[in-house]
Amino acid sequence: MVRLYGLLFLAQIVLAVCALISCLSAEEGEIRALPRVAWVLIILFFPLVGSIAWFVAGREAGARRPRTAWPMGNGFSEQHRPRQVAPDDDPEFLSSLRERARRDDQELLRRWEDDLRRREEDLRRREDGRDRPEV
C-alpha cells in the first residue's frame, strides 16, 4: 500500500511540475479564464486539482503546437507576410529564363553563321588564288 501511495504522490508531483512548466512557458494569448499568477498559485497550493484544471480550462486548445528555441519569422504575422514562391514555381522567373535561353541561342546561332561565312570567304579566296597564274 505504501508503494501505491508513493507512486501516486510521485505522479501528482510530476503532473504539477508539467503544469507549472506549461503555465509559465505559455504565451499571454494562450492563457484562459485567469491571469498567469492565479494559475501558478492554484497549481502550487492544489497540485492535483490545479494541474488538471490548468490542462482542462487554463490553456487554449490550439496551444499544443511545437515550441522552438528561436521565434520564427521576421516580426510580421503570417497573414501580412508576402508569400514567397520558389524560383522554379514563379512564372515570371521561368519566362525570364526562357527569354534568356532564346536570346542566348539566337546569339550563338548568329556567331556560328558569321563564322561559317568567314570560313567560306576564306576558302573562296584560297581557291581564287590558286586558279590565277602567278606573275
Residue 31 CA to residue 57 CA, distance in Å, equals: 9
> What pLDDT is attached to residue 106?
97
Whether the CB-CB separation of 57 and 37 falls below 8 Å is answered with no
pLDDT value of residue 94: 87
10-residue stretch averages of pLDDT, the chain, 135 residues long: 88 92 86 87 92 85 57 58 72 90 96 96 88 56
42 closest CA partner among 32, 54, 29: 54
Indicate the length of the chain as a whole number. Answer: 135
Other C-beta atoms within 10 Å of 48: how many?
A: 16
pTM over 0.85: no
pLDDT for 59: 77
Q: Nine-digit cell at 66?
A: 511545437
28 in Cβ contact with 58 (< 8 Å): no
- So what's the pLDDT on residue 17? 94
